[in-house]
Structure 1
Amino acid sequence: MNNFKLTMKTVISLCVLVAAVCYAQDTYNPQFDSFNAEEVADNTRLLKNYGKCFLDQGPCTAEGSDFKRVIPEALRTSCAKCTPKQRVLIRTVVRAFQTKLPDIWEALIQKHDPEGTYKASFDNFLNAQD
């Protein structure tokens, strides 16, 4: 009977581990939740540096490299893998690009969605209040 309990505990532990791994893959790294988007949005120089990173026109910080890697998928899926906090952060940074650095915003659009395939769905994401 003790072997059965030990086996069941092992099976349950493995199931929980598998579920945790699967869940983790359903969202982007939650460490991004603490990213200070307001600081970037309020600092045009910093915002421009991120834009240059995203456009392969300048160096990237570690965070910038991570963001650059997920931008295409986040655009195509309207941020489906974003945590609620990440959705707010992305909206903050995108709005800053749109208002403060529209040339960089247009270049990002041309790089990642030149045909405008995702424009309507991404605009809906940007305007959503979730």
Structure 2
Amino acid sequence: MLIASLALLSALSTVTADFYSSKYDDFDIQPLLANDRILLGYTKCFLDQGPCTPDAKDFKKVIPEALETICGKCTPKQKQLIRQVIRAIMDRHPESWKQLTGKFDPEDKHKDDFDKFLAENRK
């Protein structure tokens, strides 16, 4: 029984390791979308131009890998939230978006794939 339990635990940890923590699946992005000051605060954190909230710090840590894998470890809910926030930055703060892409993808290696990612499930 113990061996079976250990095997199940090992299998579950492998499955969950394939995705980022679901801790933020229920993150309320409405304050970010509704308030430019908050949205720009996150953006400045990501650009190392301002302080980071604990949530923003967590998000900032995974940006390089998420970009490299085009959100390959994101849950479906995380992909939806990320698309909404990025579209808000792109639409309302194009200069900030340009700075973010310049920092995280200076050679535009991921631009085409990321544009396709953003176009998915367009609402």
TM-score w.r.t. the length of structure 2 is 0.95
* CA RMSD across the alignment: 1.1
Q: Which residue in 2 is equivalent to 1:54?
A: 46
Q: Which residue in 1 is equivalent to 2:2?
A: 10
Q: How far apart are the structure 1 equivalents of 2:7 and 2:98?
A: 46
Task: Output aligned runs, 1:77-116, within 5 Å.
Answer: 77-116=69-108
What's the secondary structure of 2:65's corresponding residue? helix
The gaps in structure 2 that reach 5 residues or longer are: none
The number of aligned residues is 122
What's the secondary structure of 2:102's corresponding residue? helix
Q: CA deviation at 1:34?
A: 1.1
**Runs of at least 4 residues of structure 1 off by over 2 A?**
none
Partners of 1:38 and 1:92 within 8 A in 2:
no
Q: CA deviation at 1:19?
A: 1.1
What's the secondary structure of 2:107's corresponding residue? coil
Task: Output aligned runs, 1:25-44, within 5 Å.
Answer: 25-44=17-36
Q: How far apart are the structure 2 equivalents of 1:31 and 1:39?
A: 18
Letter in 2 for 1:38: Q
What's the secondary structure of 1:110's corresponding residue? helix
**In terms of Rg, which structure is larger?**
1
Q: CA deviation at 1:10?
A: 1.2
Q: CA deviation at 1:129?
A: 2.1
Q: How far apart are the structure 1 equivalents of 2:77 and 2:54?
A: 20
Letter in 2 for 1:121: D
Instruction: Give the fraction of aligned pairs with identical amino acids, expressed as a percent.
Output: 47
Structure 1 or 2: more helix by fraction: 1
The gaps in structure 1 that reach 5 residues or longer are: 1-8
1:68 paired to 2:60: yes
Pick 1 or 2: higher relative contact order, CA cutoff 8 A, min separation 6: 1
